[in-house]
Amino acid sequence: MTQVVLGVDLGTSSVKVSAVDRQGQIVAQQSFDYPLTQPHPGWSEQNPEDWVNGTTVAIVNLILKDGLNPADIAGISYSGQMHGLVLLDDNNQVLRPAILWNDTRTTSQTQEIAEKMSEEFVAITRNLALEGFTLPKILWVKENEPEIFKQAKMFLLPKDYLRYRMTGNLAMDYSDAAGTVALDVVHKVWSKAVQKTFDLPASFFPELIESTDFAGYISESYATFSGLHTSTKVFGGAADNAAGAVGAGLLNANMVMSSIGTSGVVAKFEDRADVDYKGDIHFFNHAIPNKFYSMGVTLAAGDANAWFKSVFGEDIPFGDWVNEAAQSLVGANGLIFTPYISGERTPYPDADIRASFTGIDRTHQRADFIRAVLEGIIFSFKDIMMIYDREGANFDTVVAIGGGAKSSLWLQIQADIFNKKVTTLVNEQGPGLGAAMLAATGLGWYDSVQDAANKIIKFGTTYYPNPEAVANYDQVYAIYQTIYAATKEISHELLTYRRQLKH
C-alpha cells in the first residue's frame, strides 16, 4: 500500500489533479477542461459547478483509469485561481456565475475604493484595489445587481468553494484571502475598516485558516459522488501563485519565480512584512505561516500565445507552434508585440489598454509573429523585474513554471531577456505539486513546508543568458517600453468604440 496525497490545481482553463507519494513523486495525474464565458468586453465568468464536476471527473479517472485505491489517498489540498468571486445565499447555493480574476468590469469600483480609503487602504491590504481583485467585484454586484446581493450571505474564492463542496465546511486560507484586498495582511484578520467603509457585515467574510490547516474530512455526499473515502483528510490549500511558489521551491529571498499560465506572474519570496512596494507590486501572505511573497501580473501571458494560436494556427499543437519561432531571429526581425489582449495589471494597472503589433513589414512571416508574441510576453515580465530592480531587490535565479515552461525555446528567451539564469523543475507541476506538499505537511509527513520543499523539489535544466542575444534584447526592450504610452489613448478609444457596438 502506497499512500498518496492529491494536489488539486484549480486553474482558469482546467483543473489538474496530481497524486503524489511520500517521496514527492507524481504517480498519476488527470485533468479536465472547462469553459470561460466573456459576455461583454472585459467580462470573464465561470460556472462554479464546472469546477466541482471537472475535479470529480479527474478524481474518478485517477481511481478507475490509473488504479488509485481511494483508501490510499491520505490527504487532499488545493491550489486555486485567485480573486474569483463566488457568492452564496443562506443555503450556500451559488447566486450567480463566478466573476474571475481576469474580469475587468470594476474600474469604477476601484476608483470608489481609492477615493474612500486612499493610503489607508494600501497600508492595511498592502495592495492597490485593482479590477481583478475580489473587493471591487463584491461592490460591483452590490451596485449593479442589488437583488442578487440582498440574498448574498457569504463569499468564497474558487478553491474554497470547491473545498466546501468536498467537505461541507466553509473557510478561506490567508494566501487567497490576501487577494480579496479585504484582509489586514500583516495582522491576518479581515479588515474592520474595509467592512465599515463599504458596509459589509463581518458575517459575509468566511473563517480564516492556514494553508496546511486541517479543513475537514471528505463528506458522505462527496464520497458517494466521487468514490473517495470519508477518512481522507482535506487541508486548506493556497492561492495558485502561493502554491506555485511552494512547488517551485520559492523559499529563499534570492529567488524569483516566473510563471506562464493563462496569466503570467513574476513572484518573489518575502521574509518580512516591512518591504514597501507602495502597491506597485502585489504583496500577499504566503502559504507558509507568517511569510509573504510579492508579485506582478501580466494578465494574458500563456493566454496571449493561446489566443494567437487559436486565431492563426488552431490545429497546430502548442509545442510545434512555439518551435516555429526558432525560424525567426532574436527580436522577431524587428516586430514587437505588447500582450495586453485583456488589459494589463503590472506595471500598468489599465483595464482598457489593448495589445499591438508594432513594425509589421512586408517581409514578416508567421514565425516572426509567433516569436514576437513569445518575446512580448517576456518583455512584460521584464517590466515587473524593473520594479524589483528599482527597489534594489537582489536575486540571481529565476525558476520557471507553468505551461510556458514546457518550451526550451521560450525558456532561453526568458534567460536572454532577463539576463539571468533560468532554472526549470524536474517535475514541472508547480501549483499542483505545491498543493500536494501542503496536504503532505498538514498530514505530518514533513515537519514544515520548507522541509517538504527541501526533500521533494528537484531543479532541472538551467538556461544561461547568451551575451549576444542579451545585447539585442536590450535594444528591442527599450523600444518595447515606449509602446504602452504610445498606444494607450488609441486603445482606449477603440475599446469605447467596441463597447458602443455591444450595447
Ligand X SMILES: O=C(CO)[C@@H](O)[C@H](O)COP(=O)(O)O
Ligand Y SMILES: Nc1ncnc2c1ncn2[C@@H]1O[C@H](COP(=O)(O)OP(=O)(O)O)[C@@H](O)[C@H]1O
Active site residues: 240
User: Residue 14, interface with ligand Y (CB under 6 A)?
Assistant: yes
Alpha-helical segments (H) within 8-89: 48-64
Partner interacting with residue 410 (select from ligand X, ligand Y, none; CB below 5-8 Å by kind):
ligand Y
Residue 295 pairs with which residues in a beta bridge? Answer: 267, 282
Cα–Cα distance measured from residue 445 to residue 497, given in angstroms and rounded to the nearest whole number: 57
256 vs 469, beta carbon nearer ligand X: 256
Classify residue 274 as exposed, middle or buried by CB count within 10 Å of its CB (0-12, 13-18, 19+): exposed
User: Residue 13, interface with ligand Y (CB under 6 A)?
Assistant: yes
Count the residues of the shown chain that bind ligand Y, applying the rule CB under 6 A.
20
Partner interacting with residue 406 (select from ligand X, ligand Y, none; CB below 5-8 Å by kind):
ligand Y
In this chain, which stretch among 8-16, 67-75, 144-152, 345-353 interacts with ligand Y, using CB under 6 A? 8-16
Q: How far is the CB of 295 from ligand Y (least distance, A)?
A: 15
Q: How far is the CB of 338 from ligand Y (least distance, A)?
A: 16
State yes or no: 83 annotated in a binding site.
Answer: yes
Residues near ligand X (CB under 6 A): 11-12, 81-83, 101, 132, 179, 240-241, 261-263, 265, 297
Cell numbers given for 474:
536590450
Out of 12, 18, 106, 226, name the contact with ligand Y by CB under 6 A.
Answer: 12
Which residue's Cβ has the minimum distance to ligand Y?
403
35 vs 201, beta carbon nearer ligand Y: 35
Binding mask 250-289 for ligand Y (x = CB under 6 A): ----------xxx---------------------------
Contact 84, 135 (CB under 8 A): no
Partner interacting with residue 318 (select from ligand X, ligand Y, none; CB below 5-8 Å by kind):
ligand Y
97 vs 179, beta carbon nearer ligand X: 179
User: Residue 136, interface with ligand Y (CB under 6 A)?
Assistant: no
Out of 22, 96, 406, 488, name the contact with ligand Y by CB under 6 A.
Answer: 406
Contact 246, 457 (CB under 8 A): no
Out of 97, 247, 402, 442, name the contact with ligand Y by CB under 6 A.
Answer: 402
Cα–Cα distance measured from residue 444 to residue 442, given in angstroms and rounded to the nearest whole number: 5
3-state SS, one letter per residue, for 113-156: HHHHHHHHHHHHHCCCCCCCCHHHHHHHHHHHCHHHHHHCCEEE
Cα–Cα distance measured from residue 206 to residue 228, given in angstroms and rounded to the nearest whole number: 26
State yes or no: 172 annotated in a binding site.
Answer: no
Q: Phi and psi dihedrals of 415, rounded to 5?
A: -60, -40
Cα–Cα distance measured from residue 343 to residue 127, given in angstroms and rounded to the nearest whole number: 18
Q: How far is the CB of 120 from ligand Y (least distance, A)?
A: 33
User: Residue 312, interface with ligand Y (CB under 6 A)?
Assistant: no
Partner interacting with residue 83 (select from ligand Y, ligand X, none; CB below 5-8 Å by kind):
ligand X
In this chain, which stretch among 119-127, 152-160, 162-170, 400-408 interacts with ligand Y, using CB under 6 A? 400-408
Identify which of 220, 199, 204 has the alpha carbon closest to the alpha carbon of residue 172: 204
Question: Please, which residues have CB within 8 angstroms of residue 5's CB and are 6 or more apart in sequence?
Answer: 19, 20, 73, 74, 75, 76, 77, 436, 439, 440, 443, 445
Residue 410 pairs with which residues in a beta bridge? Answer: none
User: Residue 332, interface with ligand Y (CB under 6 A)?
Assistant: no
Cα–Cα distance measured from residue 483 to residue 380, given in angstroms and rounded to the nearest whole number: 11
Q: Phi and psi dihedrals of 269, rounded to 5?
A: -65, 135
Binding-site sequence positions for substrate:
82-83
List residues near ligand Y by CB under 6 A.
Answer: 11-14, 260-262, 302-303, 305-306, 318-319, 322, 402-404, 406-407, 410
